[in-house]
Structure 1
Amino acid sequence: MKLKINKVFLPELIGKGYGKFWRFKGRYRVCKGSRGSKKSKTTALWFIFNIIKYPKANLLVVRKTERTLKDSCYTDLKWAMNKLGVAHLFKCTLSPLEITYIPTGQKILFRGLDDPLKITSITVEHGSLCWVWIEEAYELMDEKSFDMLDESIRGEVDDGLFKQITITFNPWDCHHWLKARFFDVEDDDILAMTTNYMCNEWLDEADKKVFERMKVQNPKRYLVAGLGEWGVSEGLIFENWRIEKIDDSVKKEVGAHEIFGLDYGYTQDPTALFVGVINLEKRKLYVCDEMYEKKLSNERIAENIKAKGYQHKMIVADSAEPKSNNRLRVLGITNLRGSKKGKDSIRSGIDFLQDFEIIIDPRCTNFIKEISNYAWDEDKFGNKINKPIDDFNHLMDAMRYACEPYMHIGLFSFD
């Protein structure tokens, strides 16, 4: 096959901030960064460029769940092909989700860690499976899942190739195992770096103003989402929580009740569904499942709830959205009820929940991100006040709604 050669000047194409990232050939290349730091786009460019450069290299792209790959890494890699002017050399398919470099048959494969067998048994027909890209790695709360993946990249590789795992993520939680594993050690086989929006030359003034406003209005969030620093735990509202695999046996415990809460969002904020089990006798709250997605119409919300099998469960939803509540009932969410907020309902709900041990299933990654960052607000002098920040609160609010019927047994009523 005769190839059309495109000449590109990489520093001009990629921009600043990623020179060491681009050149590193050690085993672990780890980049935590803020939003807008171009870490995912740069990673996608590197893989497309080097799939062409190394004719026997193959790539495995991984996220916590397989369904999230199409609208993230797969789309970024297609963008990179167009940016480099080589899209005509690749075949992209959705079923199965994969990309093939046509001249050599090299593969870019996509898998989710929600099906470990698909990871451990993966093989390629041409060359070596030598590269892995783990995107949004903060979703992997279980270090053993990473070890399993790491161990699957083994054996000899063709001459000139090198085995490497690239890890990209937003650093929401300073207690995450990624910090101790890669950032708190000295190892020549690890490149651990931090980037932020200030190395992204292609952000326009409107984009930059978002971060500048955040810097003034929400400095805690700015440290993570703006500067790419680790999320800090100072002033957290909930501290008595842990991550543990949960099975259906918790529903059968004496004193256990299934609970469901729904908080609405759309453009800026996600719609959040909390699914849990509360045990009043043991003072335990189990976080079993979640929905967390922006730009969902009421019809899509109903579809998602039905897909999870919760359409006939009692769901306590935000009473500030009566039209949405009525619409969901019409769409078949038969037992949805508005929350009973009242004066100081947020504070009283927090007081109630602080008396529980909260056990979180590791698949509830958005809940973990929120509870790791849900903190008391501060006054202009930096003093903590008796009010939570207006951030990281969508599943926190949904959890509070879900628990409302059990906060005042015998006194509670729905509108």
Structure 2
Amino acid sequence: MYSALAGKQLRSTMLATARGNLWEGAVRSSKTISSIMVWLRYVRTGPAGPLLMAGKTERTLKRNIIDVIVAMVGTQRCVYKAGAGELILFGRTIYTAGANDERAAEKIKGLTLAGAYLDEVTTFPESFFAMLGTRLSVPGAQWFGTTNPEGPNHWLKKKYLDRARLHLRRDGQLAESADPAAIDLHRFSFSLEDNPYLPAPYVEALKVEYQGLFYKRYVLGEWCLAEGVVYDMFDEKRHVVDLLPDMQRWMCVGLDYGTINPFSALLVGIGADQRMYVASEYRHDSRVARRQLTDAEYSQGLRGWLASYEHRGTKGVSPQWVFVDPSAASFMNQLWSDGMPGVAKANNDVKDGIRSVSVALGQNVLSIHRSCAGLLSELPSYAWDEKAAKAGTDAPLKIDDHSADALRYALHSTAHEWRPLTRRNLEVAA
């Protein structure tokens, strides 16, 4: 199932001898498999004592790392105890933990650790990472981690990676720091091209999928600022349509609630051609209308919009889900009381949501009907907040973003449903 390590993959495993060892760079660049091979060796041969494996959440840790290890060594040598926070690997008990908020540091407070494996380190709170350093107190303890790049002012890069004693760079050169303040950390930087086992058409398809900021970070492996237009891959000629195909199903509505600010709802369906379409938009801007609506009036307007929507001779649609801005609790209650089916809180992870929209646009599985005037006016000018980027945070400007937010809610909340459409495109390309 897994090919032998080669090139930079193999070299990094031989250089992972420091107290801290981190593989960073592009997606699918083999940094994870290289780090796992080192971790398996460490579990068998490292110093005695408790071990830890951590990810953004235990669920992502299982998906990204534990499931891969099970596939490599089998279920007899790797047993994950779901809900118990433990993994038995080669007969050795390993604690597992999620580290997605500031409370995570409490999970490891008081532990004495002989080693740790860390997945998606940039998603950890700095407090968790700092606490971990104090817990690795067994003589000879090491930690091994992976991450994709973020902004150059992220705490992990500024406080740790930039001070690494040894750096295997993206160009394959090995750089050793002469700085007396360098820390005992070995850094291994990967680009997409460092995985020799990926088929060339697949690599090219990934380069199409990830564009703009995500191309620089996830293909080139660069730590770069989030600046400029968020959806710079959006092209009116490519993504805007005047006619819709037959619709296979109406997947969802994404809804951004507003009183003084605009209220925006987008109807999204999957066509018979296996592509997504933003088919219609319901929008009320109280600044233009000079009248604010109540929750009851918004609910009536939303339900009326869906009931009156016509497509190819059929009037009225019933989307499977209505994903609402999670801060709009009172409006969700109104929809529930009015009998609106499928109402749920939207997934409001901003950066991952932007990435979902970017993938859909970049992989050309999303089109927008020309009637969605609010959305089409916002997408070309939806921009990153450069002040936030310089402070180490990726965030879009909160200006004229209401339909853009509704689109993010719709696509990120249903990513598990439409992602196979992008994989189908990649498989065709490969």
TM bracket (short chain): 0.5 to 0.7
SS of the residue corresponding to residue 160 of structure 2 reads helix
Aligned mates of 2:327, 2:227 — CA distance in 1: 38
Matched, 1:144 2:127: yes
Give the superposition deviation at 1:22: 3.6
1:193 paired residue number: 188
Helix, strand or coil: the match of 1:230?
Answer: coil
What does residue 174 of structure 1 align with? 152
Corresponding residue number in structure 2 for 1:132: 116
Matched, 1:183 2:194: no
Aligned to 2:217: 224
Structure 1 residue 89 displacement after superposition:
3.0
Following superposition of structure 1 onto structure 2, how do residues 6-405 of structure 1 map, counting pairs within 5 Å? 13-18=4-9, 19-54=11-46, 56=48, 58-82=50-74, 87-101=75-89, 105-113=91-99, 114=101, 115-122=104-111, 129-140=113-124, 142-154=125-137, 156-157=138-139, 162-185=140-163, 186=177, 187=182, 189-213=184-208, 218=211, 220-235=213-228, 313-314=331-332, 329-333=340-344, 342-343=372-373, 345-347=375-377, 371=396, 397-398=407-408
- Cα drift, residue 370 of structure 1: 6.2
**Secondary structure, counterpart of 2:17 in structure 1:** coil
Q: Is the 8 A contact 1:263 1:398 kept in 2?
A: no
CA distance in 1, matches of 2:269, 2:93: 38
Query: Aligned partners of 2:213 and 2:155: how far apart in 1?
Result: 21
Of 112-121 and 346-355, the range deviating more from structure 2: 346-355
TM-score, structure 2 length as denominator?
0.52
Structure 2: gaps (5+ residues): 164-176, 232-258, 277-286, 288-318, 334-338, 347-369, 412-430
Residues in 2 aligned to 1:117 and 1:149: alpha-carbon distance in whole angstroms: 10
Q: What is the DSSP-based 3-state SS (H/G/I as helix, E as strand, rest coil) of the residue aligned with 1:132?
A: strand
**Which amino acid is 1:92 matched to?**
Y
Q: Secondary structure at the match of 1:13?
A: coil
Aligned pairs, number: 288
1:332, distance to aligned residue in structure 2 (A): 4.5
Structure 1 residues 349 and 80: CA distance shift in structure 2, 3 A: closer
Deviations 1:57-83 (A, max 9, x none): 54311123334322222212223324x
Q: Distance in 1 between matches of 2:183 and 2:382?
A: 49
Mapped partners of 1:88, 1:354: distance in 2: 48
1:313/1:76 CA distance change after superposition, 3 Å? farther
Partner of 2:253: none
How far is the alpha carbon of 1:106 from its aligned partner? Answer: 1.7
CA RMSD in angstroms comes to 5.1
Cα distance between partner residues in 2 of 1:107 and 1:353 = 47
Residue identity in the other structure for 1:111: A
Q: 1:41 offset after TM fit, Å? A: 1.8
Change (3 A) 1:399 1:131: same
Assess if the C-alpha contact under 8 Å between 1:311 and 1:333 holds in 2: no
Q: Which runs of 5+ in 1 are unaligned?
A: 1-9, 124-128, 239-254, 270-279, 281-297, 316-327, 360-364, 375-386, 402-415
TM-superposition CA deviations, 1:40-59 (whole Å, max 9, x none): 12212221232123372543
Please report the TM-score for the alignment, with normalisation by the length of structure 1. 0.54
Q: How far apart are 1:99 and its partner, in Å?
A: 2.0
CA positional deviation for 1:173: 2.0
Shift of the 92–183 alpha-carbon distance from structure 1 to 2, 3 Å rule, reads closer
Is the Cα–Cα contact under 8 Å of residues 61 and 73 in structure 1 kept in the other structure?
no
Structure 2 Cα separation of the partners of residues 132 and 190 of structure 1: 14
Q: How far is the alpha carbon of 1:353 from its aligned partner?
A: 9.5
**Structure 1 match to 2:315:** none
CA deviations over 1:125-156 (Å, ceiling 9, x no partner): xxxx321222112212x4233212222222x4
Q: Which is richer in helix?
A: 2
SS at match of 2:4: helix
C-alpha separation in 2, matches of 1:234 and 1:178: 20
